[in-house]
Every structure is written in structure tokens, then in C-alpha cells.
Amino acid sequence: MEMLFRCNLMAIVGGGSTPHSAPHRVLIWDDHVPKEIGELSFRQVVLSVKLRKDAIAVALRDRVYVYHLADLSLRDKIYTADNPHGLLSLSTQVQEMILACPSVTTGHVRVELYGLRKTVLLEAHDSELRGLCLTANGNMLATASVKGTIIRVWDIASSSCIHEFRRGVERATITCLAFSWDDQWLSSCSDKGTVHIFYCNTEEQGSASPKKKKSTFKKFLSSSTSQKTKSVCQVRGVPHPLACAFIGDVPNMIAVSGWDADGNGVLLMSEFAAHQEARRVAYHVLVKNSVEETEEERRRRRARGWTPKVPDTPDNDFGNLQITEPIMNHLSTQTTDDDFCEVLIEPPTEPVIEDKVTISAKENTTDESKDTATLQDSVQTEPLEDGSKDQETQEEDEFLEATQ
């Protein structure tokens, strides 16, 4: 689900084991109506959706589609390398859109400057990408690889690496990267359960010499680990963080969402400062785990550790559509061109059930009519007593008595 700033429009994609809608459809939902006002259908599973005031971008396993938000007409199509995590980022503050996504080469990033009609290619990492994030104005880009040890910040204008941060020594899975609204802070959360906050010193960046700005990617690879800047603050409290974001209304405030040790969906809000311990401001349990267990079972589970079970992206055929069998029986596709597919889900036809009460009533009516006809036949066949004959016999008897 992706929300357009704080307005009533949002993009919804079906997911989970029993999705409400097909996972290859993007529904544009208006919460004021409330109802669906638009839909985009694809042949592949939708991995990520990003919104801005004039465009909507959809990331699939091997390509990215960009549409105009006003009429949902196609604006651009970008082919990428294998992108199982749906990496995609858009600038939101500038008038002309800037888009960042994986390139066709593993570890490289492609940046589209639509205002300048220019494409920038960055040799970000040697291994596969695991995270990328643009600033709101699109001036800087943060990238991370599947190793999760180094986070690089790139200047889009000069195509050079201006910051190189070390998250840690051990490998980790980066789950989210986020810039603050003033571009001074960069946060990253991983499966290690810690949110690292880095300080992006833009003043030193501006006073740097042009030769340092034009340093190549190999120079950073050959640099020692002591030159890589570490995080200035660390936020803990969510064992399995999935997303983090800076709160624009309050300075030095960060929100972290994820799973706790019991499998509950939680939200943590902390206040941070450079080289100081983060202070917890609020902690909310948004989704409670519905699994019922005893105290002994809970104690044993906590002792061995709990990890969230996140469904993996299908690997075969770049993400095949996976839906339940009842929906599959009523699914029909109509191919429009080489890259699009219009999906029509027909509602299942309800079986016609005959009204047994009506049938039984008709049968009773038929039986009654038959019985009536039989009764009438039986009454008509029986001999009827003639009243006139009885009167004549009575008069003859009276005449004989009078004669005697």
C-alpha cells in the first residue's frame, strides 16, 4: 500500500496467502468516496508502487512502468535487472520527476531526470542491490547491497559518491533506507534489530574540491575501512524492524515499524541526537498476534527466538501469478499488446436451486385435483334416489287405506 502524501488517494496491491485482490493488480483507491477509481493490471506480480502528485510508478520483477496519475496513460517503461525486492524511488518535492531504479547491470543504478531528458548510470555496488532511496528534491541517492555493510550516498548532478557509511562488519539484510526532509540525516534498518542514523554533512560536501567529487568507484573500493564514517546514533526497541521514516513536523524524531519478539506489529517513535542515546517517545502495538499459547510455550519461544515469516517472491518466470483455485476458475485474460494484459474476473454463477416448497405445493395441488376428480366420478356413478317416485308411492298407499 502506498499513500499519496496525506491526501485521500492511495495505491493498493493484494498480498498474503489469501489476497482480497489479485497480486498483479494495482487499485487506485479514493478514501473520500470511498471506492476504487482506477486500476492497472500486469502479467507479473507487482512488487512496489510509488506515488507523486502527477505520476505513479510500478516496479515488477524485470521492469518499471511509469504512468500519468491524471488519466493513467503510459509515460515510460524501463527494463531492469532481476529486481526481486521491487527497488524503486521517486522525488516528490521538485516539479520535474526524478526516478531511480536498478539498471540492467547487476549492482548499477539508473537515474532518470525527466526534466532534463537525461539518464545517469551509477556503478553503486559489485553485488546485487538491496536498497535505494532518493531525497525529496532528488539531489542525492542512497544505495545498499545485499551484503548490508556499506551504504553509499551519491550526488546526482556530478554522479559521484560523496558519502560512504559503514553500518557494521557482519552481513545484514537492509530492509529500509530513508532521508530526512532537510537531507541532513540518513537512516537504515536491518534484520539485526538496530536502526542506524548517519549524518550527511552537506557543508563539507560543498567545500570539497572538484577532484574529490570526481573520484571513481574503484578509489572507494581500495580505501581503508577506517575512512568510512560510522553511525552517529542507534535506535533499538523493535527486534525486527521493517520500515523507518523521519517525522517532518518534529525535528530529530524517527518512527520505526516492525515486529516485536512475540510477533506483534509495533510502532516505535524515538527522539535522537548525535552521539547520544535515543530516547523513546511512544510505543504502540498496532497488530496483535492471534496465536494462543501458554506461558511455558511463550517462554520457550522467546528463548529460541522468533523470526517473522515473510513470503518470498516467486522465482520461476519472474514471479508467476498465485491466486486461489476458486478465483482461478473464473479468471480470463485478454492480451492487449506485448507487455500488458487486461484481467477480467467474472463473478461465479450461482447454481439455480429449485424451490422445493413450490414443487411440493404443485404436487399437492395436482393430488388434490386428482382426488376431487376421482370423488366426483365415484359420486356420479352411485345410484341417486328419485324424490318424485317416493311421492307417488306414498299417494298410492294413502288411496289403498282410504278404499279399505
Q: Are 141 and 109 in contact (CB under 8 A)?
A: yes
Spatial distance between the Cα atoms of 105 and 141, rounded to a whole number of angstroms:
18
pLDDT in tens, 281-328: 999 999 888 777 788 887 887 777 766 665 444 443 333 333 333 433
Instruction: Choose among 254, 97, 93, 105: nearest CA to 177.
Output: 254
- What's the confidence (pLDDT) of residue 2? 82
Q: Are 111 and 120 in contact (CB under 8 A)?
A: yes
What type of residue sits at position 233?
C
Peptide bond into 34 cis (omega under 30): yes
- What's the confidence (pLDDT) of residue 33? 85
Q: Cell numbers 528463548 label which residue?
A: 303
Q: In terms of CATH architecture, what is 1-78+324-361?
A: Beta Barrel (2.40)
Cα dihedral sign, 85-87-93-97 = negative
- What's the confidence (pLDDT) of residue 144? 96
- What's the confidence (pLDDT) of residue 393? 60
The residues spanned by each domain of the chain are 1-78+324-361
Instruction: Choose among 226, 110, 229: nearest CA to 163.
Output: 229
- What's the confidence (pLDDT) of residue 6? 77
382: Cα within 13 Å, side-chain hemisphere = 8
Q: Are strands 265-271 and 279-287 parallel, antiparallel or unpaired?
A: antiparallel
CB-CB neighbours of 253 under 10 Å: 17
Secondary element (H or E) of residue 67: strand 63-68
Question: What grid cell was written down for 320?
Answer: 508467476
Instruction: Choose among 281, 130, 109, 107: nearest CA to 191.
Output: 130
- What's the confidence (pLDDT) of residue 242? 93
pLDDT in tens, 76-104: 999 999 999 999 999 988 888 999 999 99
Q: What is the pTM of this model?
A: 0.70
Q: Cell numbers 468516496 label which residue?
A: 33
pLDDT in tens, 214-231: 444 444 444 433 457 889
- What's the confidence (pLDDT) of residue 334? 41
Q: Are 25 and 45 in contact (CB under 8 A)?
A: no
CB-CB neighbours of 86 under 10 Å: 20
For the chain, list residues with pLDDT below 50. Answer: 205-226, 311-361, 374-389
Instruction: Choose among 340, 334, 321, 345: nearest CA to 73.
Output: 340
Interacting residues of 285 by C-beta distance below 8 A, sequence separation 6+? 260, 264, 265, 266
Is 52 buried (19+), middle (13-18) or exposed (0-12) by CB count in 10 A? middle
3-state secondary structure 304-315: HCCCCCCCCCCC
- Sequence-distant contacts of 306-315: CB under 8 A, at least 24 apart: 306/239, 306/259, 306/261, 306/262, 306/263, 307/240, 308/240, 308/259, 308/263, 311/15, 311/16, 311/17, 313/45, 313/47, 313/61, 313/84, 313/85, 314/45, 315/84
